[in-house]
Amino acid sequence: MSAPAILEVDITRKSFAGRDGAAQLVLEDLRFRLAPREIVAVVGPSGCGKTTLLRLIDGLDHDFTGRIVWHATDRPRIGTVFQEPRLLPWRTVRQNLTLVAAGRDALADELLHALGLWPFRDAYPPQISLGMARRAAIARAFAIDPDLVLLDEPFVSLDPTMTERGRDVLLDAWRRRPTAALIVTHDMDDAAALADRVLLLSANPARIVADVAIPPDQRRAGPEAAHVLAQSLRQARAAETRPGGAISGSSGRR
Amino acid sequence: MLPAASTVAGAMLHEAVAGPLLANLGITLARVVAAFTVAMVFGTALGIAMGVWRRLDLALDSWVTVLLNLPALVVIVLMYVWFGLNEWAAIAAVALNKLPSTAVTLREGARALDRGLEEMAESFRMGRWARLRHVVLPQLAPYLFAAARSGLAIIWKIVLVVELLGRSNGVGFQIESYFQLFDVTGILAYTLAFILVVQAIEWVLLQPLERRANRWRR
């Protein structure tokens, strides 16, 4: 990577206390940099510690060995898209955006228009569909004019058509407000459809087994191209893990 | 033994127009509002703190249980003995009777707070006040309404006892005067007046507020 990094992640160790009291190592030697406007996908099997990685970067958990260094900003604005939409059910869709947008109401409205949420701006989250709520959660993350967007399995439990629409919505928002983004997913197609670069993780503890840059002409080139790309990424992962069998569990899709 | 409803209503109207009913009603209502406010504010704060901090909960749990089960009469008499027959003692006695049940209700509410939303608020760096107003209080609303309803019901009853035992005005004092005369009509007239007031509070204040708080539910 030649572009200056906006974020450097260097996590030596992150462990949790197991049931028997012994420390259980979850993340080990995770090192990567994120350039401005770069979308990086972190792909690993379910339960390998991907959400923990996002919590560390988000500052929700400080208990780890290593460092996370921000460049060019001391107080980064981080927009997070959680696995569940986590909208405030008692506030309207628009209020959910403006509440965190800190005065950027025009940006919030622009995103509501762009992501097709404008007609539903005054609806309460329990009155809209899950797909719509996820869209609103994506809009909320971009409404703070973020330095970094974190996405935690943003399309999990959506059917294939909705997943594809979700990816389009995310890319719409990103093209409107290009920002660094880190997507953790178990779905190789998500990674292939969205990312500039893919980090493949092993399980227990999670380590980076491959750091694959997607060739510029294949980036975000539509669903068919993404599907082909996902196949070659799966092969890359298989090749990386064959000798030691570092990756366990299945991350194949559907 | 039991006067006709029309007789009671007539007596109530007569007392309102020509007697001291409105003045007494106003005084009692002021005590209810004061005691209710104190009990709700402190009970809510205590309940949320106990729900959030386990250590505080462990330290205070037995005391709350004791206060919860202490007879209202004992609290009232003790407050009058310790602090004299004055307004402060009266209101404190009523508030103390209600405070522990508010705390227990709100503690349950605080325990049920959604961790995911809390984390969302933290992730988006929402300020303390914004979190309280937009994330925490809406979740506690059903518990607050439950505490307010039962609080109002209990507090006005206890205010009457407090007035009967140590005040020289208010609905409770009047009822005691009628009791001396065995005037059942007078007693029921005052009771009816107060029930109407409490019912009005329910219709004019609690129900519209609750509808507003619940409008997001489909």
Residue from A91, A95, A98, A99 whose CB has the most chain B CBs within 10 Å, to mutate:
A99
Alpha helices, H only, B112-180: 115-123, 128-130, 137-166, 171-180
Q: Which chain B residues have a beta carbon less than 8 Å from that of A99?
A: 126, 130, 134
Tokens of B61: 């749990």
Q: Would you state the pLDDT for residue A54?
A: 92
Residue A209's closest CA among A44, A50, A61?
A44
- Residue keyed to tokens 């975000």: A220
**CA neighbor of B96 nearest in space, from B48, B154, B145:** B154
Q: Is A185 helix (H, G, I), strand (E, B) or coil?
A: strand
State how far residue B42 is from chain A, nearest Cα, in angstroms: 25
**A187-222 pLDDT tens trace:** 888 888 899 999 988 888 888 888 888 888 888 888
Tell me the H-state helices in chain A.
Answer: 50-58, 93-101, 105-114, 130-143, 160-176, 188-194, 223-241
Q: Chains A, B: CB contacts under 8 A, how many?
A: 43
Tell me how close the Cα of B141 comes to any Cα of chain A, in angstroms.
Answer: 11
**Which listed CATH number (3.90.1200.10, 3.40.50.11540, 3.50.50.60, 1.10.3720.10) goes with B5-211?**
1.10.3720.10
CB B75 within 8 A of CB B96: yes
Residues from chain A that touch B117, judged by Cβ atoms under 8 A, are 86, 88
Between A77, A99, A124, which is nearest B134 by CB? Answer: A99
Report the C-alpha gap between A203 and A201 in whole angstroms.
7
Average pLDDT rounded to a whole number, residues B51-55: 92
Nearest-neighbour CA in chain B from A245: distance (Å): 35
Cβ-based burial of A63 (10 A; exposed 0-12, middle 13-18, buried ≥19): exposed
Count CB neighbours of B66 within 10 A.
Answer: 10
Q: Judge: B216–A124 Cβ closer than 8 Å, yes or no.
A: yes
Q: Nearest Cα to B158, choosing from B42, B38, B61?
A: B38
B10-21, pLDDT tens digit by residue?
988 998 888 888
Residue A249 has a pLDDT of: 36
Per the CB < 8 A criterion, the answer to whether A150 and A137 are in contact is no
Residue showing tokens 């704060």: B45
Between residues B163 and A225, the one the model is more confident about = B163
State how far the Cα of A223 lies from the Cα of A231, in Å rounded to an integer. 12
- Residue B203 is predicted with a pLDDT of 92
Residue in chain A nearest B114 by alpha carbon: A86
Q: How far is CA A214 from CA A158, A211, A230, B3, in A?
A: 25, 10, 11, 90
Report CA-CA distances (Å) from A168 to A9, A175, A223, A232.
Answer: 28, 10, 10, 22
Contact call for A60 and B135, based on CB within 8 A? no
Please enumerate residues of B whose Cβ is less than 8 A from a Cβ of A. 116-117, 119-120, 122-126, 130, 134-135, 138, 213, 215-218
Which helix (H) or strand (E) segment holds residue B23: the answer is helix B21-52
Q: What's the confidence (pLDDT) of residue A49?
A: 85
Mean pLDDT of chain B: 91
Cα dihedral B150, B156, B159, B160 sign? negative
Parts of chain A with a pLDDT under 70: 1-3, 241-254
The pLDDT, as a whole number, for residue A248 is 38
Q: How many residues in chain B?
A: 218
The DSSP annotation for B164-218 comes to HHH-SSSHHHHHHHHHHTT-HHHHHHHHHHHHHHHHHHIIIIIHHHHHHHTTT--
Cβ pair B218:A79 closer than 8 A: no
**With an 8 Å Cβ cutoff, are B123 and A91 in contact?**
no
A188 in Cβ contact with A230 (< 8 Å): yes
Closest alpha carbon to A201 in A37, A23, A46: A46
pLDDT in tens, B106-161: 999 999 999 999 999 999 999 999 999 999 999 999 999 999 999 888 998 999 99
* Token couple for B25: 């009603």
Q: Which of B120, B133, B211 to mutate to test the interface with A (most CBs of A within 10 A)?
A: B120
In terms of CA atoms, which chain B residue is nearest residue A77?
B124
In sign, the C-alpha dihedral spanning A235, A240, A243, A249 is: negative
Superfamily of domain A37-62+75-241: P-loop containing nucleotide triphosphate hydrolases (3.40.50.300)
* Residues of chain A neighbouring B125 (CB-CB closer than 8 A): 77
Candidate from A79, A90, A99 with C-beta closest to B216: A90
The reply to whether residue A60 touches residue B218, judged by beta carbons under 8 angstroms, is: no
Query: Chain B residue closest to A75 (CA)?
Result: B125
B216 contacts A82? CB cut-off 8 A:
no
User: Searching chain A, which residue's CA lies closest to the CA of residue B138?
Assistant: A90
pLDDT digits (tens, 9 = 90+) for B170-211: 889 999 998 999 989 989 999 899 889 989 998 999 899 988
